[in-house]
Amino acid sequence: MATTALYWLTHDLRLCDNPALRAAAASADQMLLVYCVDPSWFQPGQFQSRPMGQHRWRFIYQSLRELDHQLSALGQRLLIRFDDPETTIDQLIRKYRVDTLVRSHAVASDEQQQLEQIRERHPRLHIAQFWTHTLFSPDHLPFDLQHLPTTFTQFRKAVESLHISTPLAAPGQLPPPPIAVEPSHWNELPDATADITLFSGGESAAHARLEYYFADQLPAHYKQTRNSLSGGDTSTGLSPWLAHGCLSARQVIDRLKRYEQERVRNDSTEWISFELLWREYFQWYAQKFGVGLYRFRGITSKPPLTSFYPGRFRKWIEGETPYPIVNACMKQLASTGTLSNRGRQLAASCLVNELSLDWRYGASWFQQQLIDYDPACNWGNWQYIAGVGADPRGGRHFDLEWQTRQYDPLHQYIQHWAGNSELKLLDHVDYVDWPIVPEHHD
């Protein structure tokens, strides 16, 4: 009797350097590959924002279309289901008598919970998980995950000399799907159009960007340009493809090492490696703390001294605060789904420190808007700014006027995004001049 493997794709939308795909192909006579588009992604959540915004959804849709095309050349197909993963995976396991379920290790705690529900429903099912989203696996780390260093600096010193495996080639063949497998549900998916196209989803676009960036002098000047507020080549620009697994971090490191051997190794190329280790740290940080990644108090024992003021939050979202540099950042984010690392820090610091707002609302808005949303990096960085995460200094408060003089002295960025159109007031007042704010939000 033929054995069947089900490969549940999540943040691993690629053929190259994909150990989960290779394992699924080697484990059975026939194989299903499925991606679940959860309808809850497009509904407002606990913090008023949607888990999935239009910019990121368009990128994912393009990535799925390309992956389906790649799989067809290998005699396979990508099954798309517009339903929650628990229901979809359960149905496929029962209908096709799946022997082995394969997937990448979950990044976020809610994904881990979904897998546990499936495990409970199918206790005899063999489940295999693979580390496709990180540079290392737990076995390679020089510490137990529960003893993850409390600061990034400690983590970097512990892992920067570790060997990083060479990326795997794409498989040359795959087992066929079961006979008469049902068609994909592409026509049920939400509209994937967007007004502005800055990034194209998919593995081929990821490799094109990787080669473009490392083709000449851009990596050699990364440290000098990385804090810029705008400019397509001031950073590597690889984060959207890394976030959705169209490209692996190991592939980036491998290309960086080749650049250093063939061209130059300097402070800038080392800083690219440094940034990839920051990303790595947050992946293990999320694994260790689980739901603590989303708690108001974060991983600390005390909640921050912030609340929630709907009017202030709306002005922050719309770029209508008294802070022109932040307004410009928020308008760029809403329009394009992109924002520089410096811009993200300034917008987050403003929400937490100037507006005294619950940091989770800001993190959720970034989750909705960012094309390159990564649960670990987004929520970990917001905790860092809010003082409830891994920062030993207890949070970061940026002087917005100084930051403007440093990074936008001629106000070109502010003018481009209309951040300083008029004087903005922080709060409205009622007829006796009492600020209209809600009660404290716990």
pLDDT digits (tens, 9 = 90+) for 278-319: 999 999 999 999 999 999 999 998 889 888 999 999 999 999
CA distance 152 to 380: 12
CA distance 102 to 217: 40
4 and 119 in a single domain? The answer is yes
Q: Which amino acid is at 257?
A: K
108 and 155 in a single domain? The answer is no
152 and 252 in a single domain? The answer is yes
Q: What is the CATH number of the domain that holds 372?
A: 1.10.579.10
pLDDT tens-digit readout, 82-124: 999 999 999 999 999 999 999 999 888 888 999 999 999 999 9
User: Quick check: is 23 in a domain?
Assistant: yes
252 and 353 in a single domain? The answer is no
71 and 103 in a single domain? The answer is yes
127 and 222 in a single domain? The answer is no
CB hemisphere CA count around 418 (13 angstroms): 7
144 and 280 in a single domain? The answer is yes
**What is the predicted pLDDT for the residue at 107?**
83
CA distance 136 to 150: 18
57 and 122 in a single domain? The answer is yes
In degrees and rounded to multiples of 5, residue 357 shows phi and psi of -105, 155
pTM: 0.94
User: Quick check: is 117 in a domain?
Assistant: yes
- Alpha-carbon separation of residue 40 from 45, 240, 425 (angstroms): 8, 22, 35
User: Quick check: is 190 in a domain?
Assistant: no
The pLDDT of 26-48, averaged and rounded, is 96
pLDDT tens-digit readout, 43-63: 999 999 999 999 999 999 999
User: Quick check: is 303 in a domain?
Assistant: no
Of 119, 92, 111, 94, the C-alpha closest to 6 is 92
Q: Which domain holds residue 344?
A: 310-416
Residue 218 has pLDDT above 90, yes or no: yes
Residue 420 has pLDDT above 90, yes or no: no
**What is the predicted pLDDT for the residue at 431?**
37
User: Quick check: is 433 in a domain?
Assistant: no
User: Quick check: is 437 in a domain?
Assistant: no
User: Quick check: is 390 in a domain?
Assistant: yes
Q: What is the CATH number of the domain that holds 213?
A: 1.25.40.80
The pLDDT of 233-237, averaged and rounded, is 95
CA distance 232 to 220: 16
User: Quick check: is 198 in a domain?
Assistant: no
361 and 375 in a single domain? The answer is yes
The pLDDT of 316-342, averaged and rounded, is 97
In degrees and rounded to multiples of 5, residue 168 shows phi and psi of -85, 150
| CA–CA–CA angle 380, 386, 390 (5° rounding) | 45
60 and 104 in a single domain? The answer is yes
pLDDT tens-digit readout, 388-419: 998 777 789 999 999 999 999 999 999 999 99
144 and 99 in a single domain? The answer is no
Residues with Cβ within 8 Å of 334's Cβ and at least 6 positions away in sequence, in order, are 317, 318, 319, 369
Q: Tell me the three state secondary structure of residue 319.
A: coil
Number of structural domains found in the chain: 3
18 and 125 in a single domain? The answer is yes
In degrees and rounded to multiples of 5, residue 154 shows phi and psi of -65, -40
Q: Tell me the three state secondary structure of residue 357.
A: strand
Residue 346 has pLDDT above 50, yes or no: yes
In degrees and rounded to multiples of 5, residue 79 shows phi and psi of -85, 125
